[in-house]
Chain A
C-alpha cells in the first residue's frame, strides 16, 4: 500500500486562543516496501502526521457533512482518508501503530490475552478460539519470543525489552501491511536497541510490507532507513535517502537536529583534507576509510 499526502494541514484546538498549527501544507509519498524514517525535533509535527495514517486524527472533510476537500489528498492504498465513506476500522487493521513506550499500554493478565485483544477487537465477527490462538502464536513467534514459555506469563513479569516485543506483537497480530512505530528503541539498553531494530527488519521481510519509524537517533536512521523525511515547524523540509540527507550537515544543525557519528567524522576529516564519500552506515564508512589507507601505518 502506497501512502500519498498532499497539502495536508492540521490545527490543534482550532478556533480557540490555544490554536496551534501542527501540520502546514505537508506533501509526502511513501512507497510500498520502504523502511521510512521520520525525523524532526519535538513539536515539529512528526507525531501529528503519523497519527493521520490510521485515522487517529481525522481530516475535517471526513467528519463534517459539507466540508470541502480544498485540494487535500490523503490516501493509504485504496483508502481515501479525506472521504466520509471510508471504513476506518478496516484501515486500522492494515495500518498498525506502535506508540512511544508501548509497554506502558500492556494491560491483560497474560501475554496471550494481551496480544489476542487486538485480534478480537478488529475481527468482524467473534473469531473461533483456534483462529485466535493461531494468530497470537504467529505474532509472538514473529517478535522472537518463545510462545510456549511466555503465553501464560503476566506481561508485567517480563524484562523491558520483552515487554516491548509483546506490545509490538499485539499490533502485528492483525497482520498490518504498514507498521508505524514512534521511537521504537527509546529507553532500551544498547543491546535491546539493536535487537528491536533487527526485529523490524525481520518483520518487514516476513509480515509487514512497509515500516515507518519516527526516531531521534540519527545513527539508527542512517543504518536502517531507505528514505527519510525531515519535519520542521509542521513542514516537510526534505525527503531523501540517508546517504544524501546527511551530506547536508549544516542544514540539519540549523534545524536543531543531529547527524550520525559517521557524518560528524566525515566532516572532521574533510576539514583535515580527507574526503570520504560514504552512505553513512558504519560499515561503509569503515570500508571507505580503509580504502584510503596509505603505506604509513
Chain B
C-alpha cells in the first residue's frame, strides 16, 4: 500500500482563513461508460465542504447522475480518485464509505424493498449488522426526521409519492450518513410532494448538519441552496451562489438550461425598459415593480 497519498481531511481554506473540512472531493476524475459511449468526464476537480447544501444543475445527459454515482462507489473512476472526508474510496473501504454517503433516487416506486414502512427503513441498518435495539432507535430517529412517525406500520404501496420518497430518505438516514445525495428525487412528485421533500432535506441540512448534494431540474429548488453548480458534457462549467448563477442567464441557455421563470420575467421587464433589480422571490420582485409604477 502506498503511504502518503491520503490527504488530511482538514485543509486550509484560503477564502475565509478558517479550517474547513472537505466532505466530498473529486480529484482529477476521468470516467467513461466504455469506448462506444459519447459521454466523457475528464479531469474533474470538485469538492463539497462539510455542511454545505449544493444544487447540481444540468440538462439530461450532462453527467449529474454520474457525479452522484461516483460519490459512493456505484461507479469507479477510470483515473483519479474520489475522497469522502479525506479517505480515498477503494474496494476495501467501499462499505464503510457507503454508510457515510446515502443516495436517494428518482422513482418513489422502485426504491422500497419491504412492504411496511418500518421494515423498509430498517433494511439498510440491518444490512450493516446493527443490533436490534439500535435499529429500533434509528427507525425512530429517521421517521421523526422526515415527519413520518405516524406511518410507521403503514403499507408503502398506499402512500403518496412524496410520502414514499420521505420513507426512502428515512431508509438512508437510518444509516446516519454524513452526506446525502438526491438524484432528481423530486422529479416524479407533484408540487406538494416536492415541497415536502425540499423542506425535509433543508431541515436535515440545518439541524443535523448533513451535507447535501441535490441534483434537480427545477431551477426554483436551486434557489434554496448555498451554492449551485452547472454541469455540461461531464464538466462543471459554472459554480456560484444561486443568485450569481441566475444572473448569467445567457450563459445558462448555452448549456440548454433555462432561467427560473421569475428570472425570465425580470429580464423581460428590463428589456421593456423597466429598471427592476434581479429578484428571485415573488415579494422582492413585487416590491421592485411597485417602485416603478405610478
List residues of A whose CB falls within 8 A of some B CB: 41-43, 101, 159-161, 186-192, 194, 216, 219, 256-258, 261-262, 264-265, 268-269, 271-274, 282, 285-287, 289-290, 292-297
Partner of A261, one of B61, B265, B283: B265
* CB-based contact A192/B60 at 8 Å: yes
Shortest distance from the beta carbon of A292 to any chain B beta carbon, whole Å: 4
* CB-based contact A289/B293 at 8 Å: yes
Contacts known (A189-B59, A290-B269); A269 close to B286, Cβ less than 8 A? yes
Contacts known (A295-B294, A296-B292); A216 close to B190, Cβ less than 8 A? yes
* CB-based contact A256/B192 at 8 Å: yes
Shortest distance from the beta carbon of B75 to any chain A beta carbon, whole Å: 19
Partner of A297, one of B61, B106, B283, B291: B291
Instruction: With CB as the reference atom, state the residue of chain B lying closest to A219.
Output: B261
Contacts known (A189-B217, A265-B286); A216 close to B188, Cβ less than 8 A? no
Alpha-carbon separation in the docked complex, A192 to B160 (Å): 26
Please, how many residues of chain B have a CB less than 8 angstroms from a CB on the other chain? 40
- The yes or no answer to B13 lying at the interface (CB within 8 A) is no
Partner of A296, one of B261, B272, B282, B291: B291
Alpha-carbon separation in the docked complex, A296 to B293 (Å): 7
Shortest distance from the beta carbon of B155 to any chain A beta carbon, whole Å: 11
Alpha-carbon separation in the docked complex, A294 to B184 (Å): 43
* CB-based contact B60/A269 at 8 Å: no
Partner of B282, one of A188, A265, A274: A265
Given contacts A189-B257, A262-B265, list 6 more A-B pairs with CB under 8 A. A187-B188, A188-B217, A190-B258, A191-B258, A257-B191, A293-B273
Alpha-carbon separation in the docked complex, A13 to B292 (Å): 58
* CB-based contact B160/A43 at 8 Å: yes
* CB-based contact A294/B293 at 8 Å: yes
List residues of B whose CB falls within 8 A of some A CB: 58-61, 106, 160-161, 184, 187-188, 190-193, 217, 219, 256-258, 261-262, 264-265, 268-269, 272-275, 282-283, 285-287, 289-294
* CB-based contact A297/B191 at 8 Å: no
- Residues in B with CB closer than 8 Å to A261 are 261-262, 265, 282
Shortest distance from the beta carbon of B262 to any chain A beta carbon, whole Å: 6
Contacts known (A41-B192, A261-B282); A189 close to B60, Cβ less than 8 A? yes
- Residues in B with CB closer than 8 Å to A274 are 286, 289-290, 293
* CB-based contact A268/B274 at 8 Å: no
Question: What are 13 A-B interface contacts by the 8 Å CB criterion?
Answer: A42-B190, A190-B257, A191-B258, A192-B60, A268-B283, A272-B287, A272-B290, A289-B289, A290-B274, A293-B292, A294-B293, A296-B294, A297-B291
* CB-based contact A269/B290 at 8 Å: yes
Alpha-carbon separation in the docked complex, A286 to B276 (Å): 12
* CB-based contact B289/A269 at 8 Å: yes
Alpha-carbon separation in the docked complex, A27 to B215 (Å): 41
* CB-based contact B217/A282 at 8 Å: no
* CB-based contact A294/B294 at 8 Å: yes
